[in-house]
Chain A
Amino acid sequence: MIPGCRPLDADLAGDLDAVATRLGWGGADKPAWHGRGLSVGVSPAGVSARSSARVELRPGGRVAVLVGSQEIGQGARTVHAQVAAEVLGVPLELIDVPATDTASTPYDRSTGASRSTTVAGLAVQRAAERLREQIVAAAARRGVPESDLAALAPLAGDGSAQELGGGSGPALFWEVCVAGAEVAVDPETGRVDVREVVTVADVGRALNPSLVERQDEGCTLQVVGNALFEEMLFGPDGVLRNGSLVDYRIPTVGDVPGRMTCVIVENGDGPGPFGAKGCGEGVFGGLTAALVTAVTDAGVRVPELPMSPDRVWRWIHAS
């Protein structure tokens, strides 16, 4: 808890139990050079409540969601369409989320800090609620059924996330990821094989569970790179020595852990739409530490990252 910041909303004990159960904690003895670790990661997320959105009922009866949070592969458009469809009670197929145009899209501070669902999504929810009120009022006024959207168009509602406030710190909400891993270390070469990863996405409400799982998997791969081999090497002249993808290794399909499980926890304790919190980035904090703990549990003291094979081999033979 940080003064001025929203307190941490999460069931950490329950999350840790979920990880431990799936890793078989306390079960059969591990083979030599195998290790398990788990860790709690929290990161301040949201950054700013400055998100606004507009939801328009357009001629012909289709609905357009105008929101500045960008689709960068994380599924923002899908989730924003879902939020509007849920509030308006219309099928998802009727919703368009057009590309952002600064001439017509309301202001949004940024896409990042896990804020597209929680902060921009809240603005979409509020805008859709205003539109719904307009639809109901117009239907009553004109004697048209609320379901006859084509007859009621055009109408629009505006919304924002300002109710989240600014606070004095960086955390509009806390992104939580409790993670665990099982590794096998090859003592002859120092290679760390990530056998299993469990991430608990304590997301409050998973608006799209499949996207939550994919976010955790994507971040798991980034953590594998960060923990096991990614490193910028600088020469004595200060020039980056491994600035190409031939020399700087990023994770590939071959680096995917043997098994990845994402456990979604929904306690409805987030400030976003329907109790949602952001997800994905939290894995950086949780899983990186869990991998270090697992390698330590396998018998290797880890003084620094990345745990590249050459280093791990040296650490083994230094002790």
Chain B
Amino acid sequence: MLPDFTILRPATLAGACALLAEHGTAAAAYAGGTELLPAMKLGDAAPRFLVDLKGVPGLDPLGVHDAAVRVGALVTHRRLELSPLVARTLPALAWLERRLANPRIRTTGTVGGNLASGRPHSDLATFLIAAGATVTCASSTGTTRTVAAADLTLAPFHTALAEDEIITAVGIPLPPAGTALAHQRFVLVERPAANVTVRLTAAGGTVTDATVVAGAASPVPAALPEAAAALIGIPLDAGPADLHPAGEAAAQTLTVTPGADEAYQRQLVAVLVRRAARAALADLPA
């Protein structure tokens, strides 16, 4: 059952930040509620004030600006899933969004809420780190700052956001020609047990740059640089033997969530790294 709370409906971003500053830890920003409300029902969170962002203008654009796909914090998973722009520029993101949770959650849950929850299972967080995305936040002092997606989640359910800060948008750099992303996830129960995004750049028939990020199996989504290094130099028509070292490096260097089934989590991440790399290779022009 939901605990008692008061819902506050600011009309501006400055007003929303001011309310968060005023109420401090007693307040929580609220948009889709798909993370916050279940946490409240389970007794994991009990904010006395919900600052509803849905009436705040300017938080829901979705377009290209300065060579990046700009996604407002209130953009829902469903909008990303169905966006022709996303399908054209970031097909791996559209693939990921199509598989998240269920249509009802995707229609309600927002990009900003997903990231602000700090949930270690977030497919979106894993993808954004690999894509080199940035997260823009506004605060009650009227200033904004931009943090790398990789620096947003500090620990499970704990982000770099200050109490009075609100995520306003995410910027995902448009992949240049010769670069492809692919995401893989494996679900045992409701949320993914492991997820992996691989970003590859190729020139002259071989991979020249690589990024590998894994989440869900680890306390926070994080890059696996040794696995990425093992992908550099492999040919576009790489076979299983070419991809195997990257999987092994990922399995060996992954920080596994304490208490998890460690051997299986490492195995899953190794498999997903190989499969994501194969999918990214297939999307690169020969």
Chain A residues at the B interface, C-beta cutoff of 8 Å = 188-189, 191, 229, 242, 244-249, 252, 308-310, 313-314
Binds A, one of B153-161, B164-172, B184-192: B184-192
* B188–A308 touching, CB < 8 Å: yes
Given A244-B42, A246-B38, residue A313 in contact with residue B267 (CB < 8 A) = yes
- A252: chain B residues at CB < 8 Å are 102
Q: Whole-angstrom distance from the CB of A250 to the nearest CB of chain B?
A: 10
Contacts of A245 in B (CB 8 A): 190
24 contacts between A and B (CB under 8 A): A188-B267, A188-B271, A189-B186, A189-B268, A191-B186, A229-B188, A229-B189, A242-B189, A244-B42, A245-B190, A246-B38, A246-B191, A247-B189, A247-B190, A248-B189, A249-B188, A249-B189, A249-B190, A309-B188, A310-B188, A310-B261, A313-B264, A313-B267, A314-B264
Binary A-proximity of B98-122 (CB < 8 A = 1, otherwise 0)? 0000100000000000000000000
Nearest B-chain residue to A186, judged by Cβ: B271
CA distance A188 to B194 in the complex (A): 14
Q: In the complex, A121→B245 CA distance in Å?
A: 65
Q: Scoring B residues 249 to 286 as 1 if CB is less than 8 Å from chain A, else 0, what string do you get?
A: 00000000000010010011001000000000000000
A307 to B191, CA, bound (A): 19
Q: How far is the CB of A226 from chain B (nearest CB, A)?
A: 15
Additional 16 contacts, C-beta under 8 A, given A246-B190, A313-B264? A189-B186, A189-B267, A191-B186, A229-B188, A229-B189, A244-B42, A245-B190, A246-B38, A247-B190, A248-B189, A249-B188, A249-B190, A308-B188, A309-B186, A309-B188, A314-B264
Please, which residues of chain A bring their CB within 8 A of the CB of B190?
245-247, 249
Mask, B172-212, CB within 8 Å of A = 1, is 00000000000000101111000000000000000000000
> Which chain B positions have C-beta within 8 A of A189?
186, 267-268, 271
Complex alpha-carbon distance, A191 and B267, angstroms:
13
How far does the Cβ of B226 sit from chain A's closest Cβ, in whole Å? 20
Q: Which B residues touch A249, using CB under 8 A?
A: 188-190
State how many angstroms separate the Cβ of A240 from the closest Cβ of chain B: 14
Instruction: Return chain A residues, CB-CB under 8 Å to B261.
Output: 310
Q: Which residue of B lies closest to A190 (CB)?
A: B264
CA A222 – CA B38 in complex, angstroms?
A: 26
User: When chains A and B are docked, how far (Å) is the Cα of A249 from the Cα of B188?
Assistant: 8
Number of residues of chain B lying within 8 A (CB) of chain A: 13
Q: Which residue of B lies closest to A309 (CB)?
A: B188
Roughly how many angstroms separate A191 CA and B272 CA in the complex, as a whole number?
13
Contact A310 B191 (CB under 8 A): no
Q: Which residues of A contact B191 (CB under 8 A)?
A: 246
Contacts of A310 in B (CB 8 A): 188, 261, 264
Nearest residue (CB) in B for A242 is B189
B264 contacts A246, CB within 8 Å? no
Closest 3 pairs between A and B when the two form their complex, measured CB to CB: A188-B271, A246-B190, A249-B189
Q: Nearest A residue to B264 by beta-carbon distance?
A: A310
B40 to chain A, nearest CB (A): 14
Kindly report which residue of chain B lies nearest to residue A248, judged by CB atoms: B189
The distance from the CB of A251 to the nearest CB of chain B, in whole angstroms, is 12
- Contacting residues, chain B, for A244 (C-beta < 8 A): 42
Whether A246 lies near B189 (C-beta < 8 A) is yes
A313 to B189, CA, bound (A): 16
Give the complex CA separation of A77 and B264 in angstroms.
49
A308 to B271, CA, bound (A): 17
Q: What separation, in Å, do the CA atoms of A25 and B17 have in the docked complex?
A: 67
Distance of B46 from chain A, by nearest CB (Å): 18
A245 to B41, CA, bound (A): 13
**In the complex the two chains form, what is the Cα distance from A2 to B78 in whole Å?**
58
Residues of chain A within 8 A of B42, CB atoms compared = 244
Residue on A nearest B263 in the bound complex, by CB: A314
**Separation of A310 and B186 alpha carbons in the complex (Å):** 11
CB neighbours (8 Å) of A313 from chain B are 264, 267
Neighbouring B residues of A242 by C-beta, 8 Å: 189
Residues in A whose Cβ lies below 8 Å from that of B267: 188-189, 313
Measured CA separation A308–B188 after assembly (Å): 8
With the chains together, A309 CA to B265 CA distance in Å? Answer: 11
> Interface centre among A189, A229, A308, A314, by most B CB within 10 Å?
A189
Cβ–Cβ < 8 Å partners of B188 in chain A: 229, 249, 308-310
Give every chain A residue within 8 A of B38 (Cβ-Cβ). 246
The residue in B42, B188, B191 that gathers the most chain A C-beta atoms within 10 A of its C-beta is B188
Minimum CB–CB distance from A314 to chain B (whole Å) comes to 7
Chain B residues within 8 Å of A314, by CB: 264
Query: Complex formed: what's the CA distance from A229 to B193 in Å?
Result: 14
B97 to chain A, nearest CB (A): 16
User: In the complex, A246 Cα to B38 Cα: how many Å?
Assistant: 10
Q: How far is the CA of A273 from the CA of B28 in the complex (A)?
A: 62
Residue of B nearest to A311 (CB): B264
State A252–B101 Cα separation when bound (angstroms). Answer: 11
* Interface hits, B42-58 → A, CB 8 Å: 42
User: In the complex, what residue of chain B is closest to A247 when comparing beta carbons?
Assistant: B189
**Chain A minimum-CB-distance residue to B271:** A188
